[in-house]
Amino acid sequence: MCYYLLCPIRSNVMIRAALTKFQNKWRNYRHRFVPWIALNLRRNEGSLRHVTKSIQDKPIHDEVVSETLLKLFGALLERDGADGKQSLKETRLRPKVVQTKSNDAREMHEEGRMAESDDLIFQSMGFCIHRRPSSVPLAGVGVFITKGWVPKGTVVAMYPGTVYEAYEPIFFQSLRNPFVFRCIDGVLVDGNDKGISKLVYKSCSRRDMLGPYRLSDFSWLTNPKNPLAIGQYVNNCNDSPANVCYQEYDVPRVFPLELHQYLPNVKYSHETQRPIRCIVLVSLRDISPGEELFSNYYTIVES
């Protein structure tokens, strides 16, 4: 008798727990959900951030962003060029025998590559950044400073993804997608690395190749070559002030062509004339090693 009485109670507890989990996730990303934005843009003034001019919403100058990216991308290009020459040399010297690596050997190789990447970004930026389980319950993956100190006003991450103009179709890509970022002028950046979003990004990235030059980087979909291209995993802060904020950055036309291969953004439409839009995350204060990055998810409206 007691068993049959307890079953409905347990079921109700499980249902309430599932609903609570869903509500928490929904509150965290509804401000990026395109259909919700369209229906609630003027009903939720508390979630809006009014900006009179885009330049007033920039915590640092675009020239500073360009200098940071040029420095890091230049180091990445030098590393990849050296790796390419070393691989070619090893291929020429290696006996023509098919060899297979054990799992342990592969893991050691990957760990070595990660250590090299950490050294490179630390030398270029003064810090290291990685994805790890978030310190916020039920928040999934977060982004942490794992080594070094981040001064205020520093570019700490980039928000990768396909860039859509305000009039371009993104409805189906936005369904159940917590990674759509809305810019001040209505431009949307889809940072989802799965499903339709992934297919669209890879297709557009391959389409835009200019001879031997790739004009964007799709390695962020799996294992980012550009260590900053993990900004879509920065979580919203609910109980404490944000330590980073989003800044819109249009890549200048003079940006070196050979460095475009490290830009984790691509235009949805090849015919769009404006410069490629990138989103960078800038530190609002000094950030210590071990700290998780937190931002505020806001729908932005230009006044």
pLDDT digits (tens, 9 = 90+) for 189-209: 999 999 999 999 999 999 988
In a domain, 47, yes or no: yes
pLDDT at 45: 47
Judged by phi (left if over 0) then psi (alpha if -120 to 50, else beta), residue 295 lies in: beta
Q: What is the mean pLDDT of residues 13-34?
A: 69
**Pair 124, 226: CB distance under 8 Å:** no
CA dist list (Å): 250 to 183, 216, 224: 12, 14, 21
Choose from 99-103, 107-111, 182-186, 247-251 the range with maximum mean pLDDT.
247-251
pLDDT for 90 equals 41
Q: Check residue 175 and give its pLDDT.
A: 87
Q: Is residue 161 included in any domain, yes or no?
A: yes
Question: What is the pLDDT confidence band of residue 14, given thresholds at 50, 70 and 90?
Answer: confident
Kindly state the tokens that stand for 71: 């420095």
CATH of the domain at 58: 2.170.270.10
Which residues does residue 90 pair with via DSSP β-bridges, in sequence order?
Answer: none
Residue with tokens 């020429």: 92
Domain of residue 199, residue span = 32-301
Are 210 and 263 contacting, i.e. CB atoms less than 8 angstroms apart? no
**β-pair type (244-250, 188-190):** unpaired
Q: Write out pLDDT tens, residues 132-174.
A: 999 988 889 999 999 999 999 999 999 999 999 988 989 888 8
How far, in Å, are 33, 34, 35, 185 from residue 180 at the CA level? Answer: 7, 8, 11, 14
User: What's the whole-number mean pLDDT along residues 250-263?
Assistant: 96
> Of 277, 278, 268, 275, nearest to 252 (Cα)?
275
Tell me whether residue 226 is in a domain: yes
pLDDT at 260 over 60: yes
Q: What is the mean pLDDT of residues 96-115?
A: 56
d(CA 54, CA 300): 10
Whether the predicted pLDDT of 216 surpasses 60: yes
Of 63-72, 90-99, 222-231, 276-285, which gets the smallest average pLDDT? 90-99
Assess if residue 11 is contained within a domain: no
This prediction has a pTM of: 0.77
Q: Report yes or no on 10 lying in a domain.
A: no
Average pLDDT for the chain: 82
Domain membership flag for residue 36: yes
- Total number of domains in the chain: 1
Please report whether residue 45 resides in a domain: yes
Predicted pLDDT at 21: 75
Rg, C-alpha atoms of the chain: 22
Compute the C-alpha angle 196/168/216, nearest 5°.
Answer: 60
CA 222 to CA 187: how far, in whole Å?
A: 25
* Phi, psi at 296, each rounded to 5°: -115, 130
Residue among 123, 186, 121 at smallest CA distance from 158: 121
Residue 27 forms part of a structural domain: no
Q: What is the pLDDT of residue 119?
A: 87
pLDDT reported for residue 301: 57
Mean pLDDT of 115-122: 83
